Amino acid sequence: MGAVLSLAAIVAAVSINRVGAGPNGQLSILLLGTDQRPDERGGDPGRTDTMILVVIDRTGTRSHLVSIPRDLWVSVPGHGEGRINTAYRSGELSRPGSGGALAERTVSAALGVPVDRYVLVDMSAVTHVVNALGGIDVVAPNEIIDADFPTDDFGARRLIIPAGPLHMDGQTALAYARTRHADDDFARMARQQQVLAAVRARATDRTNLARIPALMSTMSNVTKSDLTPAEIGWLISHAQTLSEERTRRLVIGPELATPITGADGAYLLKPRESLSVAVAGFLAGAS
């Protein structure tokens, strides 16, 4: 529990083609991203506003990414109902070191699938990771104009990202993954999957191997997980074995979660009865 994890293991987790999995023939890893300003770190553990479930098939035929909306209203074991992004924080505040396990249990119950491991990463590390890789290549489907993109000093700035193929530095990649004022949280989740895929592609490019030592050094103190040392080593050693074409993606949207208004007027998403069936079908390759 809480072992420091390098980015190489995260990259491997989304690009692996075979692994010793559990009884269901899959290994599922919950990626949790915190998005706190610099002066907010070190005290309150914060919410995990980025949540992506990575499910890897033992046979090596496919892997799947499921993006989970932060406003999904679910039962958090031992803590009543709440947003799914509060599970990690609730666990840490109750007993330091238990947040990851509680997030695993919460997501497992909400989606109806086993969750075996978690990886927690500070989303601000995206800037350093992308820069250490020399930038990433992303195709933005639409122009983004966000007049109120938040800054670390609690202010705002105007963010413009053009449509089309882009080579992004770290600051641009982080902004691309965080912005949501120009569209919504569902589009933001899709962009996060894009950035993750672009980081994987760049990190596993054989022409870029000379950058990996600096990359691992950059990431060594901003990630933790309950993956075992043997699992980490295995994942790293097989990081280049799966092509992008073997990875399938799902963003849980309004068709699987109904928008509702909370008691305090907050925007929430109530899981539809079809959610667990749809996720199971997606992971089985039926959708």
pLDDT, mean over the chain: 81
Dihedral of the CA atoms 226, 229, 234, 240 (nearest 10)? Answer: 70
Q: Which residues of the chain form CATH 3.30.420.590?
A: 3-124+220-283
* 8 A C-beta contact, residue 34 and residue 44: no
* 8 A C-beta contact, residue 76 and residue 102: yes
More confident residue, 259 or 221: 259
For 51, list phi and psi in degrees, rounded to 5: -140, 115
Percentage of the chain surpassing pLDDT 90? 46
Is 18 a residue whose pLDDT tops 50? no
Q: What is the third-level CATH fold of 3-124+220-283?
A: Nucleotidyltransferase; domain 5 (3.30.420)
Q: Which residues of the chain form CATH 3.40.630.190?
A: 129-200
Separation CA 228–CA 1 (nearest Å): 8
Is 45 a residue whose pLDDT tops 50? yes
Is 198 a residue whose pLDDT tops 60? yes
> What interhelical angle do 212-219 and 125-132 show, nearest 10?
170
pLDDT score recorded for residue 154: 78
> 0.85 exceeded by the pTM?
no
- Interval 61-95: pLDDT, tens: 567 899 999 999 999 999 999 999 999 999 999 99
Separation CA 137–CA 55 (nearest Å): 24
CATH of region 129-200: 3.40.630.190
Token pair for 38: 């610099």
